[in-house]
C-alpha cells in the first residue's frame, strides 16, 4: 500500500484546490530513487501545512499538533486579495490493492471536511463514517496521526528528550501494537464503565431491598383489604340493588295504577255527566227538590274532596315523620371537609409538636420497656402524616363532628318531628270534623232522597245508577289519590337511597350489579358493617401499592440479572485485557531487540563508528491517593486527609550514545548536531522495524552538514524499497535523492501554490 495522492481545499494557506500526486514515485517498479518525493520552497511558503493537512485528515484532534489554537485556524482566513473561506477539506488517496485496509476497494479515499460553524464530517470513499472507524482502519494498515509516518523537526528529537517511560510508549507505538493497545484501552474503558455500572446497580439494589420488603408487607395487607373491598362491594350491590329494585317496582306499580285509574275516572265522569243530562230532562216538577239534593250532593262532594285532601296531606306528613325519625337515627358522625392551606398548616404544626415530644421521649428512655411505647407513639405520628398526605392528594378529608354539633342536629330533627306531629294531630282533628259533616250531609241527603222517591218514581233507576256510578267514581278517585301518595312517598325514598348509594359507592344506582336474588336486608347490613370495620382495622393503604410492589419486584429481579451479567462482562473484559497485555509484551520484546540492533547499525553508519545501545530499566513510580482534601488556612496549601502512597514498578527505556573518540555518560552531553544524528538513527531504526506504507519527514535533516546529509540519503535510499518517503526539505543532497520534486511558493495574495518536476 502507498500514498497515491493528497488533495487539499481551503486548508490553511492552500485556499485553492491543490493536488499532490505521489503515484508516479510510489507505483514505479524500477529506478534507484523509488518512492522518494521532495517538497521544497522558501520559509513561510506553506510547506509544513501539507504535513499538517495529512495529519488532520488522518484524524488528529489536538490543535497543538496542527500549530493552531482553535478549529477555525485551519480554514483559510483570507488575505488582502482573497476572501476567507467557509470550509476546509483534505482527501487522502491510498492504494489498497494488497487489501492492507480491510475494505473491498483497490483505492481507499479518506476525506475530512470542516465548516466555520464547527460542524465536521468524515468520509470513506464518499460514505459518511465515524472518526473511530477511520482510526481503526489506519491502525490495521500500520499508520496513524500520532505514529512515525508523519515526523516533524520536534518529533525527531522527542525520543531523546522523553522520559524512560515515554520512550517505552514510543517503542510500543513503533512495535505495531497500536491495534492491540486500542483494544486494550477500549476494554479497559468498558471495564471501568462496567465496574461503575455494577457499583451503581448494587447501590440501587441495596436501596431497593428494604423498600421492597416494606412494599411486600403493605402489598399483602392491600391484597387482604382488596378482598374485603370486593366483598363489601358485592354486599352493597346486593343490598342496595335489592332496595333500589323494590322501590323501582313500587314506583312502576304506582304509576301503572295511576294511569289505569285516571282512565276509569274519566270514563265514570263521562257516564255521570250523561246520566245527569237524562235526569234534567225527566225532572220537570221536582226541580226545587232536586236542586236541594244537588246542592247537598255538591256539598258532599266538596266535603269528600276536602276529606281526601286532608287524608293525602296526613299520609304525606306521616311519611315525612317516618323519614325525619330515620334521619335522626342516621345522623352522620363524620363529615367530609375540603383540604385548605390553613388546615394543612394546623395539621403540620400538630405533627411537628408531636415529633418534638417523640424526640423528648426517646431521649428520656431509661429501660427497654419504654421502647414499645415510643414505637407506638411514632407509629401514630406516621399514620397522621399519611392521613394528611392522603387528604392533600384527594383534596378532602373525613372529620369527626363534635358531640355538640351532633346533639344540635338531633335537637333540630326532634323539633321537626314535633312540628310534623302537631301538624298530623291538626289534620286528624280536621278529618274528624269533616267526617262528622259528611255523616250529617249523608243523613240529610238520605231523607231528601226518600222524600224525592215518592215524588220521582220515574227517575229512581237513573238516580240509583248515578249514585252507584258516583260511588265507583269516588272509589276510583280514592285509589288514584292513594297511588299518587304512594308514588310521592316512593320518590322520596328513591331520592334518599340514591344519595346514600352515591355517597357510599360513588356510583349512580343504574350502575348497580344486582342479579335479582332475594336478600335478607338485616343480615346483609350487618355484613356490610363488619366489612367496614375490618377495612378500618387494616387502614388506608393505597390500592396502587400492589402494582408498585409488582413493578419494584420486576425491577429488583432485572437488576439482579443485570448485576450477574455485568460480573460476566467484567470477567470477559479482564480476560481480553490480560490477553492484550501478553500480546503487547511479546511484540514489544521482539520490537525492542530488533530496533536496538538497527539503532546500533544506523548509529555506526551515521557517526562512522562509535557505540550506542538501548537498555531496559526498572522505574519505581509513586502514586498518591487521597479521600478528601483539606485547606490549611495558615500555610495556604491544600492538605490530604487519609492520604496513602502506592509504589508501582514499570519498565522504561534508556538510550546510551557515544560517538567515536568521545566519552559520553549521558545524552545531555551531546552537541546539537550529535543529538540530531542520534535522533535520526533512532528514527530509521524504528521505521526499519515496522516500515509504514509511507512516511512524511518535515525538515528532520535541517541541522545536518553535507557529509551527514549524504549518509542520511544513503539510509533513505536503503529504506525506500519498503516505505514511500515524502520529505519537506531545504537540503540539496536530499533533493538529489528524490524522483519527484514539488516546489511550494506563495504570492502576495497569501495563497500557497505548487510547481512539480519529474527528475527521473
Which of 13-17, 225-229, 459-463 is predicted with the least confidence, judged by mean pLDDT? 225-229
Q: List Cβ neighbours of 115 (8 Å cut-off, separation of 6 or more).
A: 86, 87
Residues 1-25 have pLDDT tens digits of 788 899 999 999 898 899 998 876 5
| Per-residue pLDDT at 433 exceeds 80 | yes
Of the spans 350-359, 463-472, 741-750, which averages the highest pLDDT? Answer: 741-750
> Beta-carbon neighbour count of residue 342 at 10 Å?
8
Q: What is the C-alpha R_g of the chain? A: 56
Q: How far, in Å, CA of 36 to CA of 716, rounded?
A: 8
**Whole-angstrom distance, CA of residue 723 vs CA of residue 694:** 5
Q: Assess whether pLDDT exceeds 90 at residue 122.
A: yes
| Residue 11 DSSP class | B
Q: Which residues of 143-179 are buried (b: 16+ CB within 10 A; e: fewer)?
A: bbbbbbbbbbbebbbebbebebeebbebbbbbbbbbe
What's the rounded mean pLDDT across residues 492-520? 71
pLDDT of residue 534: 65
Pull the grid cell for residue 520: 335478607
Q: Other CB atoms closer than 10 Å to residue 559's CB: what's the count?
A: 17
Q: Is residue 104 part of a domain?
A: yes
| pLDDT at position 635 | 37
Q: What does the pLDDT read at residue 171?
A: 75
Residue 322 corresponds to which cell in the numbers above? 317516618
Let me know if residue 135 belongs to a domain. yes
Residue 47 covered by a domain: yes
Q: Which domain holds residue 94?
A: 1-29+42-144+739-760
- The Cβ of residue 477 has, within 10 Å, a number of other Cβ atoms equal to 20
> 3-class DSSP state for residue 36?
strand
Tell me which DSSP letter residue 14 carries: B
Nearest to residue 162, comparing CAs of 690, 678, 694? Answer: 678
In a domain, 295, yes or no: no
In a domain, 95, yes or no: yes
Residue 134 domain-assigned (yes or no): yes
- The string of DSSP letters for 134-152 reads HHHHHHHTT--TTSTTEE-
Q: Would you say residue 624 lies in a domain?
A: no
| pLDDT score at 655 | 86
688, containing H or E segment: helix 672-689
Q: What is the pLDDT of residue 221?
A: 62
Q: How confident is the model at residue 639 (pLDDT cuts 50, 70, 90)?
A: very low
pLDDT at 685 over 50: yes
Q: Is 239:519 a contact under the CB 8 Å cutoff?
A: yes
- Does a structural domain hold residue 748? yes
Q: Is the pLDDT of residue 540 over 60?
A: no
By mean pLDDT, which of 102-111, 200-209, 253-262, 329-338 is the weakest? 329-338
Rounded-to-integer distance, Cα 712 and Cα 718, Å: 10
**Could you tell me how many residues make up the chain?**
760
Put the strands of the sheet holding 752-758 in their side by side order.
150-151, 694-698, 724-728, 36-40, 740-746, 752-758
Q: What is the pLDDT of residue 636?
A: 40
Exposed/middle/buried for residue 685 (C-beta within 10 Å: 0-12, 13-18, 19+): buried
What is the mean predicted confidence (pLDDT) over 447-470?
73
Residue 149 phi, psi dihedral angles, 5° rounding: -90, -10
The yes-or-no verdict on residue 214 having pLDDT over 50 is yes
pLDDT category, 27, cuts 50, 70, 90?
Answer: very low
Q: How far apart are CA 742 and CA 536, in angstroms?
A: 96
Per-residue confidence (pLDDT) for residue 26, from 0 to 100? 45
pLDDT confidence bin for 121, thresholds 50/70/90: very high
Confidence of residue 572 (pLDDT cuts 50, 70, 90): confident
pLDDT at residue 29 in the model: 40
Q: Would you state the pLDDT for residue 758?
A: 67
Q: Would strands 740-746 and 36-40 be described as parallel, antiparallel, or unpaired?
A: parallel
Q: What is the pLDDT of residue 123?
A: 93
Q: Is the pLDDT of residue 110 over 90?
A: yes
> Count of CB atoms within 10 A of residue 515's CB?
8
- Angstrom CA distances, 522 to 239, 453, 525, 529, 636, stand at 9, 61, 5, 11, 86
Question: Tell me, what CATH number does 745's domain have?
Answer: 3.40.50.300
pLDDT greater at residue 255 or residue 745: 745
pLDDT of 113? 94
- Give CA–CA dist 720/691, Å, rounded: 10
What is residue 514's predicted lDDT score, i.e. its pLDDT? 65
Banded pLDDT at 87 (limits 50, 70, 90): very high
More confident residue, 652 or 328: 652
Name which of 518, 517, 501 is nearest 509 in CA terms: 501
Cβ–Cβ contacts within 10 Å for residue 334, how many? 10
* H/E stretch holding 291: helix 287-329
- Number of structural domains found in the chain: 1
Q: What is the DSSP letter of 706?
A: H
Mean pLDDT of the chain: 77
Q: What's the average model confidence in pLDDT over 188-207?
A: 77
| CA distance to 112, 247, 412, per residue, from 258 (Å) | 96, 16, 36
Contact 558, 269 (CB under 8 A): no
**Cβ count near 30 (within 10 Å):** 6
pLDDT in tens, 367-411: 666 777 777 778 777 877 877 777 777 766 655 556 676 677 777
Average the pLDDT over each of 27-31, 339-343, 397-401, 540-544 and give the range with the smallest value.
Answer: 27-31
**Each residue of 273-332: pLDDT tens digit?**
887 887 776 665 566 666 777 888 888 888 888 888 888 887 877 777 777 777 666 555
Region 348-360: mean pLDDT is 81
Between 412 and 696, the more confident residue is 696
Amino acid at each position: 500500500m502507498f500514498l497515491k495522492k493528497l488533495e487539499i481545499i481551503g486548508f490553511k494557506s492552500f485556499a485553492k484546490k491543490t493536488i499532490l500526486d505521489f503515484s508516479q514515485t510510489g507505483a514505479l517498479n524500477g529506478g534507484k530513487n523509488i518512492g522518494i518525493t521532495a517538497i521544497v520552497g522558501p520559509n513561510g511558503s506553506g510547506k509544513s501545512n501539507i504535513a499538517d493537512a495529512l495529519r488532520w485528515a488522518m484524524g488528529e484532534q489536538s490543535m497543538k499538533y496542527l500549530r493552531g489554537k482553535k478549529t477555525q485556524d485551519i480554514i483559510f482566513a483570507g488575505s488582502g486579495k482573497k476572501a476567507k473561506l467557509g470550509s476546509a477539506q483534505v482527501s487522502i488517496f491510498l492504494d489498497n490493492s494488497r487489501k492492507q485496509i480491510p475494505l473491498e476497494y483497490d483505492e481507499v479515499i479518506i476525506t475530512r471536511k470542516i465548516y466555520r460553524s464547527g460542524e465536521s464530517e468524515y468520509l470513506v470513499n464518499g460514505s459518511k463514517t465515524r472518526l473511530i472507524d477511520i482510526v481503526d482502519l489506519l491502525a490495521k494498515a500500520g499508520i496513524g496521526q500520532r505514529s512515525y509516518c508523519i515526523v516533524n523537526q520536534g518529533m525527531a528529537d522527542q525520543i531523546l528528550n522523553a522520559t524512560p517511560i515515554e520512550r517505552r510508549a514510543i517503542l510500543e507505538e513503533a512495535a505495531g501494537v497500536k491495534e492491540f493497545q486500542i483494544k486494550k484501552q477500549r476494554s479497559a474503558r468498558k471495564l471501568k464503565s462496567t465496574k461503575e455500572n455494577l457499583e451503581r446497580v448494587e447501590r440501587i439494589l441495596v436501596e431497593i431491598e428494604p423498600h421492597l420488603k416494606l412494599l411486600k408487607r403493605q402489598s399483602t395487607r392491600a391484597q387482604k383489604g382488596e378482598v374485603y373491598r370486593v366483598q363489601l362491594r358485592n354486599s352493597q350491590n346486593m343490598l342496595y340493588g335489592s332496595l333500589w329494585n323494590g322501590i323501582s317496582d313500587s314506583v312502576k306499580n304506582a304509576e301503572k295504577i295511576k294511569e289505569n285509574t285516571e282512565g276509569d275516572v274519566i270514563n265514570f265522569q263521562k257516564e255521570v255527566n250523561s246520566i245527569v243530562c237524562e235526569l234534567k230532562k225527566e225532572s220537570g216538577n221536582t226541580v226545587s227538590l232536586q236542586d236541594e239534593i244537588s246542592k247537598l250532593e255538591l256539598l258532599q262532594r266538596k266535603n269528600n274532596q276536602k276529606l281526601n285532601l286532608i287524608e293525602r296531606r296526613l299520609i304525606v306528613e306521616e311519611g315525612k315523620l317516618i323519614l325525619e325519625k330515620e334521619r335522626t337515627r342516621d345522623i352522620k358522625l363524620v363529615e367530609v371537609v375540603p383540604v385548605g392551606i390553613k388546615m394543612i398548616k394546623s395539621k403540620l404544626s400538630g405533627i411537628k409538636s408531636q415529633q418534638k415530644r417523640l424526640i423528648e421521649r426517646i431521649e428520656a428512655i431509661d429501660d427497654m420497656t419504654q421502647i414499645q411505647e415510643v414505637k407506638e407513639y411514632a407509629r401514630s405520628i406516621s399514620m397522621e402524616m399519611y392521613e394528611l398526605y392522603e387528604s392533600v392528594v384527594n383534596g378532602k378529608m373525613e372529620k369527626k363532628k363534635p358531640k355538640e354539633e351532633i346533639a344540635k342536629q338531633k335537637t333540630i330533627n326532634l323539633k321537626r318531628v314535633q312540628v310534623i306531629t302537631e301538624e298530623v294531630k291538626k289534620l286528624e282533628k280536621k278529618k274528624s270534623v269533616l267526617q262528622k259533616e259528611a255523616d250529617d250531609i249523608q243523613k240529610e241527603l238520605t231523607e231528601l232522597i226518600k222524600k224525592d222517591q215518592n215524588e220521582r218514581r220515574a227517575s229512581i233507576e237513573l238516580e240509583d245508577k248515578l249514585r252507584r256510578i258516583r260511588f265507583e267514581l269516588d272509589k276510583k278517585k280514592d285509589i288514584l289519590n292513594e297511588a299518587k301518595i304512594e308514588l310521592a312517598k316512593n320518590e322520596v325514598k328513591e331520592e334518599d337511597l340514591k344519595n346514600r348509594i352515591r355517597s357510599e359507592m360513588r356510583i349512580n344506582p343504574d350502575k348497580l350489579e344486582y342479579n335479582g336474588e332475594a336478600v335478607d336486608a338485616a343480615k346483609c347490613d350487618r355484613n356490610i358493617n363488619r366489612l367496614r370495620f375490618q377495612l378500618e382495622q387494616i387502614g388506608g393503604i393505597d390500592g396502587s401499592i400492589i402494582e408498585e410492589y409488582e413493578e419494584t419486584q420486576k425491577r429488583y429481579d432485572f437488576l439482579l440479572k443485570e448485576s450477574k451479567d455485568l460480573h460476566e462482562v467484567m470477567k470477559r473484559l479482564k480476560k481480553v485485557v490480560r490477553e492484550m497485555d501478553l500480546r503487547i509484551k511479546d511484540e514489544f520484546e521482539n520490537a525492542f531487540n530488533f530496533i536496538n540492533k538497527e539503532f546500533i547499525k544506523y548509529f555506526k553508519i551515521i557517526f562512522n563508528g562509535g557505540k550506542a545501545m538501548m537498555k531496559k530499566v526498572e522505574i519505581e513510580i509513586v502514586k498518591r491517593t487521597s479521600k478528601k482534601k483539606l485547606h490549611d488556612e495558615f500555610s495556604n496549601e491544600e492538605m490530604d486527609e487519609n492520604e496513602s502512597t502506592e509504589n508501582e514498578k514499570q519498565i522504561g527505556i534508556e538510550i546510551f550514545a557515544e560517538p567515536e573518540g568521545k566519552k559520553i555518560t549521558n545524552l545531555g552531553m551531546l552537541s546539537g548536531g550529535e543529538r540530531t544524528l542520534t535522533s535520526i538513527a533512532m528514527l530509521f531504526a524504528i521505521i526499519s522495524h515496522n516500515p509504514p506504507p509511507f512516511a512524511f519527514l518535515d525538515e528532520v535533516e535541517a541541522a545536518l552538514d553535507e557529509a551527514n546529509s549524504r549518509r542520511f540519503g544513503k539510509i533513505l535510499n536503503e529504506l525506500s524499497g519498503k516505505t514511500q518517503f515524502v520529505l519537506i526539505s531545504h537540503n540539496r543532497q536530499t533533493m538529489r535523492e528524490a524522483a519527484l520534486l514539488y516546489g511550494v511558493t506563495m504570492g502576495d495574495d497569501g495563497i500557497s501554490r505548487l510547481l512539480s518536476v519529474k527528475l527521473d
